[in-house]
Chains A and B, each alone.
Chain A
Amino acid sequence: MKPTATSTAAAAGADATVAGPAAARMGGSTKWGRLWKNRWLYVLLAPGLLYFLIFKYVPMWGVLLAFQNFSPYHGFWKSEWVGFEHFRVFFTNPEFFMLLRNSLILSFYNLIFFFPAPIILALLLNEVRIALFKRTIQTLVYVPHFISMVIVASLTYVFLTTEGGIVNELLDHYFGFKISFLTDPAWFRPIIILQTIWKECGFGTIIFLAALASVDVEQYEAAIIDGANRWQQMWHITLPAIRSTIVILLILRMGDVLDNGFEQIYLMLNPLNREVAEVFDTYVYFMGITQGAFSYSTAVGLFKSVVGIILVTLANWTAKKFGQSGIY
C-alpha cells in the first residue's frame, strides 16, 4: 500500500501528541476518546463484521462437527464426541477411492486441456493487429462466463440428448447411429471439460491480456531488428511477460485439485454416470443435505479443504524455491 495523506496522518495521530487537523481527526488523546470519536465508523463496520462472524466464522468453528456424532436434536453442545471415527469410516469406504479417482482425473484433465486454453487464446488474440476485430472477438468470447451453470447444462442437454438433440439428429442423419452423451460414463469427463472451456476460456484471457498490455512495444521492435521471427518474438518476449501470471494461477489451481465445482458436476450427474461423475463436493451434498449425515459429510468436506490448503502451500513453496513470486 502506498503511503497517502491519510496514513501519515494516522501514524502521526496514533501518538496523539501532534496537534492540528491530524490529531483532531483522531479524536481525544485517550484510547476511549479515539474509539468514541470513530463511533460511526464502528457502526458502519458492524453489519459486515457480523456477517463474517455468522456466515464465515461460525461455520469454520462448525467443522468440529466432523469429530462428533452431531444430532440436531441434541445440538452442538450435547452431541457425543467421537474423534476421528468419521474419517476412519470414510477412508475405509470403497467410495472414498472412487471419489478420489474421479476428482483427481477431472482435475488432471482440467489442467491438461483447460488450463492452457486461455493462455493460447490470449496469445492468439495478442497477434491480432486489427483493433476492431480483436475487440469484437473479445466481446463475444466473454459472454458465456456470465451465463449460469444451469443454462450451460441446459444447453448441453438440449444439444446432446438422444431425443431430438441436434448433435444426435445430425449423427443419425449422416452416420445412422446415436450416442447417449448424457448417460454414457465415457462421455462425462469430455463433456465437463468442453463445458468449462466453452464457459471460461474466453474470460480467462483477460488476466493474460492485461499482463501483455504492459509489454513495451520497443522490445518487439528491437527483436525484429535483430531478425526475430514471430514465433521467436512470442517465445522470448510475450510468454515471459505472462509467466508469473501463469505460475500464480497454477498455484491457485493446486488448491482446487479436490474441488471440482459443485454446481457443474451436480447438474451433469445422473445415476448412470455416477461411477465417474461423483466427486467429493457432490458426495458431501448427498450425504449431508439429502441424507442428513451431518457429521460424516462435514468430515468429508473438512478432508477436502485441508488437502486443498496443504496443496496450495506446497505449490507456493515450490514456486518460490524456483525463483518465482508466489501468491503470498
Chain B
Amino acid sequence: MRHYRTIPGTIFDICNYLFLSLFALAAVLPFLYVFAGSFASDTELTRRAFFLIPERFTTAAYAYIFSTDTIVRSIGVSIYVTTVGTLINLFFTVTMAYALSKRHLAGRNFVLNLVVFSMLFGGGMIPTYLVVRELHLLDTYWALMLPGAISAFNLIIVKNFFQEIPAELEDAAKIDGCHDLALLWRIVLPLSMPVLATFTLFYAVGHWNNYYSALLYINEPSKWPLQVILRQIVMLSQMAAGDLNAMDPNFEKPPDQSIKLAVIVVGTIPILIVYPFLQKHFAKGVLLGSVKG
C-alpha cells in the first residue's frame, strides 16, 4: 500500500487535510450563518458581524413568514409543483424508457435518435416559450411541469437499466399471460425501485429549485413559486411582491435582514432534508450516465 512516510510527504498531508477542511467549511458555513441569523433579532444582526449562535433566540422571523399570504402561498405552489411535477416526470420517463428498452420494437432506433439529437440541439428559449404560449399554458402550473417532463439524460439511464433486467423474468410472466403494461407494473417497476428513487429525488430537487420556468411562463404573482418570491424578498427587497392587498399593512417596509435569512432557510431546508438520501444514490446515477457508449 501507499503507507510510507517522508518529511515532505507529511508536510503535504498536513497542508492537504487543512486545505480540504477549509474548503468543506466554506461549502457549509454560509448555511450555518444564515440559519443562526434567521433566529436572531435584527438589532443583533446589525450589531454583530458574524456569529453562529444567536445571543437571544427568537422565532419572530418565522412567525412573520408564516403569517404572510404571499410566502405561505408560494410555498404551497412549490410543494404542489414539486409533487405533481415529479409524478409527471416519473410517468413520462418510465413509460418511454420501458418501450425504448425493447430492442425488437420497430421504430425504436428512430425514436432514440430523436432523443439523442434533442440533447445536442434545441430550439432555444423563445421558440419554446412560443410553444408554451400557443398551448395556452402561460400562467398555469402546467407550464412549470410539462416543458421539462422528461430529461433525455435520465431517460437514457433508466432505459439502460431496464435493458439490464434479465429477459427470462419477463418471458416467464408473458407465458402466464401478462401483457406489456402488466409486465412493467408488476415485474419491472418493483425491480427498479432503487433507480426510480434516485430519479424521483433528482426530479423533485429540480422542481423545488426551478426558477427559470416561473420567470418565463408565470406572470401572475399569486402563482409564483417560492424561488421567485425568495428573489423578490432577498435581492429586490420587495416584501409585497406585487401583492400588496394580501399583506399586513404594517409590513410594507423593506424586509428585515432576519426575514431575508429565514426565507433563505425555508428555501434550503427541504433540499438539506433529502440530501442524505440523494447522496446515497447520486454517485451511482452520475456514474451510470458518464459511462460512454
B-contacting residues of A (Cβ < 8 Å)?
A: 1, 4-7, 9-10, 13-14, 21, 25-26, 31, 34-35, 38, 40-45, 47-49, 51-52, 54-63, 65, 72, 121, 124-125, 127-129, 133, 136-137, 139-144, 146-151, 153-155, 157-159, 164, 166, 169-170, 173, 198, 202, 206-207, 210, 217, 220-221, 224, 229-230, 248, 262-263, 266-267, 281, 284-285, 288-289, 294, 297-298, 301-302, 304-305, 309, 312, 325, 327
Contacts of A267 in B (CB 8 A): 211, 231, 235
When A21-B171, A62-B123 are in contact, do A6 and B102 touch as well, CB less than 8 Å? yes
Question: Which residues of B15-70 have CB atoms within 8 Å of chain A's CB atoms?
Answer: 16-17, 19-21, 23-28, 30-31, 33-34, 45-46, 49-50
**Contact between chains at B260 and A302 (CB < 8 Å):** no
Contact of B163 among A4, A52, A157, A325 (CB under 8 A): A4
**Contact between chains at B167 and A5 (CB < 8 Å):** yes
In the complex, what residue of chain B is closest to A3 when comparing beta carbons? Answer: B103
**Contact between chains at B99 and A41 (CB < 8 Å):** yes
Contact of A136 among B24, B147, B155, B275 (CB under 8 A): B24
When A55-B146, A127-B12, A155-B34 are in contact, do A140 and B28 touch as well, CB less than 8 Å? yes
In the complex, what residue of chain A is closest to B95 when comparing beta carbons? Answer: A44
**Contact between chains at B125 and A281 (CB < 8 Å):** yes
Question: Which residues of B261-293 have CB atoms within 8 Å of chain A's CB atoms?
Answer: 261, 264, 267-268, 271-272, 275, 278-279, 282-283, 286-287, 290, 292-293
**CB of B109 to closest CB in A, whole Å:** 12
**Contact between chains at A124 and B19 (CB < 8 Å):** yes
Identify whether the interface residues of B are mostly helix, strand, loop, or mixed.
helix
| 8 A-B pairs (CB sep. < 8 Å) | A38-B102, A40-B179, A42-B105, A59-B130, A137-B21, A217-B2, A289-B125, A298-B127
Contact of B45 among A164, A301, A305 (CB under 8 A): A164
Question: Which residues of B127-172 have CB atoms within 8 Å of chain A's CB atoms?
Answer: 127-131, 133, 135, 146-147, 149-150, 155, 163-164, 166-168, 171
Contacts of A7 in B (CB 8 A): 103
**CB of A251 to closest CB in B, whole Å:** 12
**CB of A241 to closest CB in B, whole Å:** 15
Contact of A52 among B23, B114, B124, B264 (CB under 8 A): B114
**Contact between chains at A51 and B286 (CB < 8 Å):** no
When A59-B131, A148-B208 are in contact, do A48 and B26 touch as well, CB less than 8 Å? no
User: Beyond A4-B163, A159-B30, A301-B127: 9 further Cβ-contacts under 8 Å?
Assistant: A5-B168, A56-B123, A63-B127, A146-B278, A148-B208, A148-B267, A221-B1, A288-B125, A304-B124
Contacts of A61 in B (CB 8 A): 123, 127
- Which range holds the interface residue count of chain B? 35 or more
Bound Cα distance A147, B230 (Å): 13
Contact of B180 among A41, A49, A54, A56 (CB under 8 A): A41
**Contact between chains at A157 and B234 (CB < 8 Å):** yes
CB of B216 closer than 8 Å to a CB of A:
yes
**Contact between chains at A170 and B111 (CB < 8 Å):** no
**CB of A133 to closest CB in B, whole Å:** 7
CB of B104 closer than 8 Å to a CB of A:
yes
Contact of A57 among B27, B118, B155 (CB under 8 A): B118
State the 8 A-B residue pairs at the shortest beta-carbon distance, nearest first.
A48-B96, A59-B123, A62-B127, A148-B209, A10-B104, A301-B124, A45-B99, A59-B127
**Contact between chains at A150 and B104 (CB < 8 Å):** no
**Contact between chains at A128 and B17 (CB < 8 Å):** yes
Contacts of B2 in A (CB 8 A): 129, 217, 220-221, 224
**Contact between chains at A129 and B27 (CB < 8 Å):** no
**CB of B157 to closest CB in A, whole Å:** 14
**CB of B19 to closest CB in A, whole Å:** 7
**Contact between chains at B96 and A55 (CB < 8 Å):** no
Contacts of A59 in B (CB 8 A): 122-124, 127-128, 130-131
